[in-house]
Homo-oligomer: A and B are copies of this chain.
C-alpha cells in the first residue's frame, strides 16, 4: 500500500506539506500543490480510510481544560501529558484558568459556561474545589467531565490522581527506614483542605501510629497556604517546639512548602540534612535543581494528564456506554536525593 511517506519522498516535500495539500490546499503554493497532486496520482495514493474516518470524526473535537492557577509549578508537567495525548488524537485544547478575583466558585462556573459556549466536547477540571454545589450547573451543562488531581465526593465523575494517604504513609516509612524517630510535619489546613491537606495529614498520622512514634498536635505545623510562604512560616513555628520535640526529620505536604521550610532552617542556622532532614511531595522539576536536591514523593503528573484525556475520549467515542466512574490512582514513588540523611 502506498503511504503518505512515499508521496512526500516522491514529491520532495515533507509529510506535513502533503497533509496540508489534502486538508488545507489553499495554504500551499500552487507549485507545491501541483507537485504533490502529481505524485499522489502517479503512485495511486489513497489516504488511509480508517484513519481518515477516525480523524474526520475528531476533526472538530476540542476539549476544555479548567485549572485554578497556571503558576503552580506542577502545571506544566500535567499539561504536557494532556497536550500530547490530545494532539495525537487530533483534538484541540482550550485552556481556561482562574485568577484571584471574585469568589472561586463563581469563577469555576463561569469558566465551565465559557468552555461550553466555545463548543468543547468535554472538560478536564483540575481544581481543588469540586463540591456538590456545582452539581446542578454540571447537570445542566450536559457535558462529560473528568477530574485530574481532584476528586468529587459523590464519585459522580472519574478522577485521576495520586493516592495521597498511601503516598504520605510511604514518605514516613522511608524516613523511619533511615533511622528517624522524631518526625514533624509542615502543611496547610489539614481540616479545611479536603483534597490535599486532609489525606496527606491522614497518611502521616497513620504512619506515626503504625510505627508507634511520639505524637502531639504541635508536631504538625500549619502555614496559611501550600506554597513557599506557608512552608516558611510553618517551619518557623515548628522550630519553636524543638526544645521539647527534638525532631530530626520533617515531612512537607508539597515541594514548594519544602523550599520555604528549608529557607526557614537556613535562617535559623540549621543545615539540611545534617541538622534536619526534609522530604517533600510532588517531585517538581525544580526540586532536582536546588542544593541540597530534594528527596520527595513523585506524583505521575504527566500520566495523570494522559489518562484524563484518554478517559474523556472513551466517553466521547461511546457516549451510550455507561462508564464506570471512580477514583483511579496513578503510581507514586519515593525519589531519593540529598535532603534526608541516615541516622
Contacts and interface: CB of A to CB of B under 8 A. Distances in A.
Interface of A: 14, 16, 20, 24, 26-27, 29, 62, 70-73, 75-77, 79-80, 83-84, 87, 92-97, 99, 102-103, 106, 109-110, 113-114, 117-118, 136-137, 140-141, 228, 256, 259-260, 262-263, 266, 285-286, 289-291
Contacts of A73: 73, 286
B83 A285 contact: no
Given A27-B141, A136-B29, A83 B106 contact: no
Nearest to A141: B27
A83 B71 contact: no
Report how many copies the assembly holds: 2
For the complex, would chain A's binding face be called helix, strand, loop or mixed by DSSP majority?
Answer: helix
Contacts of A14: 103, 106
Contacts of A20: 109, 113
Q: What 4 pairs across the A-B complex have the smallest Cβ distances?
A: A71-B76, A95-B95, A259-B289, A16-B106
A289 B257 CA distance: 10
Contacts of A260: 289
B71 A99 contact: no
Contacts of A29: 136
Contacts of A95: 93-95
B140 A27 contact: yes
Given A93-B95, A256-B289, 10 more contacts: A16-B110, A26-B140, A27-B137, A70-B79, A71-B76, A71-B77, A92-B94, A92-B96, A259-B286, A263-B291
Contacts of A289: 228, 256, 259-260, 263
Contacts of A256: 289
